[in-house]
Chains A and B, each alone.
Chain A
């Protein structure tokens, strides 16, 4: 894939191919997070993303253990199964959701570290912890592009039901919405999304990227349309400015992007306080 056309933009670092790829990567990752974040921040669904982010390590470990060259497939399958297990225990269990999630994510992290650290080789998996946007390849960009397309289609088909579910599950049930199906589908989508982007943004920061742009948008939006527009906009702004800053300041790109979103959140929060 030839991306040299990007160097016409007035951004000197785009003369490097890896920076062009990272730039395109963030242009694709930002809307993935900006869009799904709008529902992740609603208090009925937020808990998945954090646990799924943490579970990724275990998925990678299992994939590596069974000898896969690219642990992505194992990661996706494990994340979905993990998410389904959480919904199942949550919907029938008596323990509080927080407790269940704490147990699930702590066990998954422990399992991941235990398996990956066998014979002392954990260091090479560091990129799954902090992510490395600059190592993104053209093939990965295609995967992310397909994922974005898939998310947009899913969102267009399922958003209305998901939104009513996020207001109140009993209300959704009374309107004939199949809540189990909707909840599990959403969980699976987030699981896939987390699995696909974990190596670019890292286990530690992925939840922040999901939550921050949408939370900032939520501070000032008045309806669902504004909420989506602002969330996408904030995700792009913080993604691009974070990437540029990380280049000039020579810092980890994922962390810089999260800091940019945090600043946007603080600004919109101040605006809410005044309103």
Chain B
């Protein structure tokens, strides 16, 4: 098919990933179709919002893209020259991290354990600490480096986990309702960081969100998902389509309640 013909690419992206193609993806679990025939093409530097009702398959789509769930169809990552990535690096930030807040772990322990094989119970090398500090600077959290993980506020924790997701620099960043527990200012700050990162690395970013305010402010395009793709396109176009907004209404109410 057309796959064999290299596409003409004029991409000035700083990121090696150029395109993510999802082709006829379906997920069936326990005899139930959760996602049906999803086809999407996304590009580097885009912030894409995944919206839709609960149980509509948003998180499932993220997991299928990561390869964590069995799915039929294709998920293909390509670079500038049309070459396929065999093992794309994924940065994944989950909705809610459940962990033991009494554990004596510092932010530096977590980030050093992630980036180096040097056992963290022996302390951290200056080189690792420097790299970790640089990571934290990107999420405006360098002051948290020696804090215990259990002592972080919700917003601080999400920034630290964002730093974790950025090391090594992923080919795609997936955010699954990362800020549902934060207040309005916390959300704003978090998404400004995500936008900065996109600007700096041309990182393809997929966000699951229920928050219309945030989406309209930060997303370039929107995919409305309810088992199948109901609507997809640039933010402004989608906002203008009345049918889509109707579908969004109940979510908007839910967004305010939180």
What range describes how many residues of B lie at the interface? 20 to 34
Distance of A217 Cα from B146 Cα, bound (Å): 18
B105 touches A224 (CB 8 A): yes
CB contact under 8 A between A168 and B121, given known A173-B68, A222-B148, A224-B104: no
Asked if residues A223 and B110 are in contact (CB atoms below 8 Å), the reply is no
Q: Are B97 and A223 within 8 A (Cβ)? A: no
Taking CB atoms and an 8 Å cut-off, the chain A residues in 213-252 that contact chain B are: 217-218, 221-228
- The minimal Cβ–Cβ distance linking A231 to chain B, given in whole angstroms, is 10
Cβ of B54 < 8 Å from any Cβ of A?
no
Would A164 and B122 be within 8 Å (CB), given that A171-B97, A173-B68 are in contact? no
Q: Is the CB of B99 within 8 A of A167?
A: yes
Point out the residue from B116, B120, B148 that lies within 8 Å of A163, measured CB to CB. B120
Considering the complex, give the chain B residue whose CB is closest to the CB of A164: B113
Answer yes or no: B6 CB below 8 A from chain A CBs. Answer: no
Query: Knowing A160-B113, A166-B103, A223-B105 touch, does A174 contact B94 (C-beta < 8 A)?
Result: yes
**A168:B98 contact, CB within 8 angstroms:** yes
Q: What is the distance, in angstroms, from B168's C-beta to the closest C-beta of chain A?
A: 10
| Chain B residues, Cβ within 8 Å of A168 | 97-99
A161 contact set on B, CB distance < 8 A: 113
Is there contact, CB below 8 Å, between A223 and B104?
yes
Task: Type the 1/0 row for A134-162, where 1 means its CB is closer than 8 Å to any CB of B.
Answer: 00000000000000000000011101110
The answer to whether residues A224 and B106 also contact, given A160-B113, A160-B117, A170-B94 and a CB cut-off of 8 A, is yes
Beta-carbon contact of B114 and A224 below 8 Å:
no
- Chain A contributes a number of interface residues (CB within 8 A of B) equal to 30
Considering only residues 7-53 of chain A, those with a C-beta below 8 Å from chain B are 38, 42-44
Among A43, A155, A222, point to the contact of B121 (Cβ < 8 A): A155
Q: From B149, which residue of chain A is reached at the shortest CB distance?
A: A167
B139 within 8 A of A: no
> Counting CB contacts under 8 A, is A175 at the interface?
yes
Beyond A159-B119, A164-B113, A224-B120, whether A171 also contacts B94 by CB under 8 A is yes
Which of B99, B114, B118 makes the CB contact (< 8 A) with A175? B114
Cβ distance B94 to chain A, nearest Cβ, rounded Å: 6
Give bound CA distance, A163 to B164, whole Å. Answer: 14
Q: Which residue of the partner chain, among A155, A217, A224, contacts B109 with CB atoms under 8 Å?
A: A224
Residues of B within 8 A of A225 (CB): 120-123
- Interface residues in B138-196 by Cβ distance below 8 A to A read 146, 148-149, 161, 164-165
Q: A155-B121, A221-B104 are known; give 14 further A-B pairs, CB within 8 A.
A: A38-B121, A156-B122, A159-B119, A159-B121, A163-B110, A166-B103, A167-B105, A168-B99, A173-B68, A174-B90, A174-B92, A218-B102, A225-B121, A227-B121
Q: What 7 pairs between A and B have smallest CB-CB spacing?
A: A221-B104, A160-B113, A223-B106, A174-B92, A228-B121, A224-B109, A227-B104
- Show 30 A/B contacts (Cβ-Cβ < 8 Å), sorted by A: A44-B100, A155-B121, A156-B119, A159-B113, A160-B116, A160-B118, A160-B119, A160-B120, A163-B105, A163-B120, A164-B114, A166-B100, A167-B99, A167-B100, A167-B103, A167-B149, A168-B97, A168-B98, A173-B68, A174-B92, A175-B114, A175-B164, A218-B102, A218-B103, A222-B104, A223-B104, A223-B146, A223-B148, A224-B104, A224-B106
* A residues with CB within 8 A of B: 38, 42-44, 155-157, 159-161, 163-164, 166-168, 170-171, 173-175, 217-218, 221-228
Q: Which B residues lie at the A interface, using CB under 8 A?
A: 66, 68, 90, 92, 94, 97-100, 102-106, 108-110, 113-114, 116-123, 146, 148-149, 161, 164-165
